[in-house]
A and B are shown apart, each in its own frame.
Chain A
Amino acid sequence: MKLKLIPIAALLAATFASPSALAQKKEVVGIAGKEILLGHINPYSGPASAYGTIGRSIAAYFKKVNEEGGVNGRQLNMISYDDGYSPPKTVEMARKLVEQDKVLLIFQPLGTPPNTAIHKYMNAKKVPQLFVATGATKWNDPKKFPWTMGWQPNYQAEARIYAAHILKNKPNAKIAVLYQNDDYGKDYLEGFKAGLGAKAKTMIVKEASYEVADPTVDSQMAQLQASGADTFFNITTPKFAAQAIRRAWDSGWKPVHYLNNVSASPGTVLRPAGLDKSVGLITSRYLKDPTDKQFANDPAVIEWTAFMKKYYPEGSLVASENFYGWCVAQTMVQVVKQAGNNLTRENIMKQAASLKDFTPSCLLPGIKMNTSATDFAPIESVQLARFDGKDWVGFGEVMGK
């Protein structure tokens, strides 16, 4: 008979295993004595687990900050959970961080679907969802979502810069656009058209889209070439970007070719496409590239390399994700620093929205982070870069806001 009580016992055990019952009441949420609790969600497993290393490099940077005395004398304690890039899991983990661990904020959730899943929740709970790791434009919407902020240049901002470059250098260009038929592709296209302004209708002579499930973009490329365009804006993810670059070269089209930053990786895109066929491509960037020889002696890259060796020795020195994590973590520290002793969620959001010319060394020279109560997009400027057959070489002024 006693064994029949096992289901009840199991249920009760699961209930009381929750540490929330033991959690103490604190004065300010997320602050325990000399500790600041930061929540973090990252895909350590699942389809996007390649990005898991971002979370590790962020944790390593916070460790470094703590060893050096913390921020305003407080230690940063980051609680990091795995969501496996699965939106329901992101919701669960965000609720755990907010309701059980009682963190001050959630930092750097990765990916558009996971962030979308918690967007309304975070704003309803009034908990900062800071510096999300996605380029969608919707994170910059302080009116409707005053508790969510992006970090990297968003797709529309980036596309506007290509548009500005075309308007300046080739005002009579005939433009063909290839885009992925989803919100990412449409986000870019919208920004591009906004950048061209009234001339968009006449300058864009042909648009073609493809589905992620399509095997190739050959037929789309043929249509675009047949339109007689002399300029090509390539809004594609890595696999299709490689196909389009190769096709544009092989077919003898050879337009002025703008490639979105999403697919600017020499290793995964340009090498498969053919490095010789990639010469002259134009893209944009905002971070220094630790694998780029131009930056080999740059103080930021030297500092980062030393940091990696000391605090994250198992991390890869050629993975740009680790450089990204190091950079975004500095922004987080800056916000906490600015908040001083007033570590409420309201003040954190206020400080995140008052970055003034913040320039960590990881950014390309001339790029600054600026935010305001109506501008929740920290990085809005980029530098254009041209591929010389080996590396991306930056050229021209930093463009954007």
Chain B
Amino acid sequence: MSRNNLIVIAVVLAAACVLPLMVSEYRTFQFTLVLVYAIALLGLNMLTGYNGQISLGHGAFYAIGAYCAAILMDKYGVPYWATLPVAGAVCLVAGFLFGLPALRLEGLYLALATFALGVSLPPLLKYHHLEQWTGGVQGISILKPDPPEFLNGLGIALNQDQWLYYFTLAVTVAMFLVAWNLLRGRIGRAMIAIRDNHIATETMGVNNAMVKSLTFGVSAMYTGIAGALGAIAVQFVAPDSFNIFLSITLLIGIVIGGLASIQGAIYGALFIQFVPNIADDISKAAPWAIFGLFLLAFVYVLPAGVAGAIRMGMARLQRKRQNP
């Protein structure tokens, strides 16, 4: 990583740290959701952007993560932070297992299989034999975590929203670091190679099946952890929270943010969090038509996503500087 890159990351992090001190609690809550979506989008981007497997059902993993957190907190009194590894592990296994049969499916067929996962999960959550845990259509309400005691001892007074934001920010940074480490290494190269030419990759001695299934698992794990954080932030889960539109929204996020880009997850998250609200402000009658216009504009103007546009812009600038 170049020095300039490090500086930019440091500045962005610093801005992210002071952010909740400057805005209202409601905005802080919204930015917490942005971070949550960023983790989910990063997970989906690994699968779709880097590995070339299209998923229309990642909302299901988000829901599984959310329900893991909610059930553990509500029924078993597990502290909120301890639910994240469990949610991640459950989704890792679920994703890996789903990835195994999905290996046989390519392109549109895989998209359909994952779509089936996305549409079938909400009704399953209402299933009455599971109701004692899932709460059926009523869902589960959970309490918002208080800032830990030791912060008061240090003289730092945070409200619940601010604390949750910082907690989510810490998780996000950790998840991004892990992803960055994974994607730039051997495994990341194998993932990209499979996407670009899987026969050549196999010839090079990469175990395609294993890498693809693992990618599915890790991708689901990221989305599941995001789901758990999302549930803690929203304080409520119900089957209606995780309809198929959530899966589509996540896909929109990675395309707008930029496929196969780590920072793209952040731009995508900002888009899916804020643009629907802007659209709703513009028109009550047809908010989704306005959203569609935004989407069209982004796809036409920034065909490689926001991250791609920034990359191209910088390359152009560099060229100008080199031959003025």
Instruction: Give residues in A with beta carbon < 8 Å to B.
Output: 1-8, 10-12, 14-15, 18, 20-21, 44-47, 80-82, 84-88, 91-92, 95-96, 98-100, 111-114, 116-117, 119-121, 181-184, 211-213
Contact = CB atoms under 8 A, between A and B. Distances in A.
B137 A95 contact: no
A15 B22 contact: yes
B27 A116 contact: no
Nearest to B25: A99
Interface in B105-128: 123, 126-128
Contacts of A82: 280, 284, 287
B26 A95 contact: yes
Given A11-B15, A183-B136, A212-B123, A4 B287 contact: no
Interface residues of B, number: 53
Nearest to B16: A11
Contacts of B165: none
Interface stretch (B4-12, B80-88, B176-184, B218-226): B4-12
16 contacts: A7-B266, A11-B12, A11-B16, A44-B287, A47-B240, A86-B240, A86-B243, A99-B26, A100-B26, A112-B138, A113-B139, A114-B240, A117-B234, A117-B241, A121-B235, A182-B128
B313 interface: yes
B141 A119 contact: yes
A41 B137 CA distance: 20
Given A3-B313, A8-B12, A20 B288 contact: no
Contacts of A3: 310, 313-314, 317
A91 B24 contact: no
Contacts of A91: 234-236
A146 to B, nearest CB: 17
A7 B123 contact: no
Interface of B: 4-5, 8, 11-12, 15-16, 19, 22-27, 29-30, 33, 123, 126-128, 136-139, 141, 143, 230, 234-241, 243, 245, 263, 266-267, 270, 274, 277, 280, 284-285, 287-288, 310, 313-314, 317
Given A3-B317, A14-B270, 20 more contacts: A8-B12, A10-B267, A15-B22, A20-B23, A20-B27, A44-B287, A82-B287, A85-B240, A86-B241, A86-B243, A87-B234, A91-B235, A92-B33, A92-B234, A99-B24, A99-B26, A113-B139, A114-B240, A117-B235, A181-B128
B317 to A, nearest CB: 6
Contact of B8 (A4, A21, A182): A4
Nearest to A7: B12
A47 to B, nearest CB: 7
A-B pairs with lowest CB-CB distance, top 4: A99-B26, A117-B236, A113-B238, A88-B234
A88 B230 contact: yes
Contacts of B26: 20, 95-96, 98-100
Nearest to B140: A116
Contact of A120 (B8, B123, B235): B235
B236 A88 contact: yes
Nearest to A81: B280
A119 B235 CA distance: 11
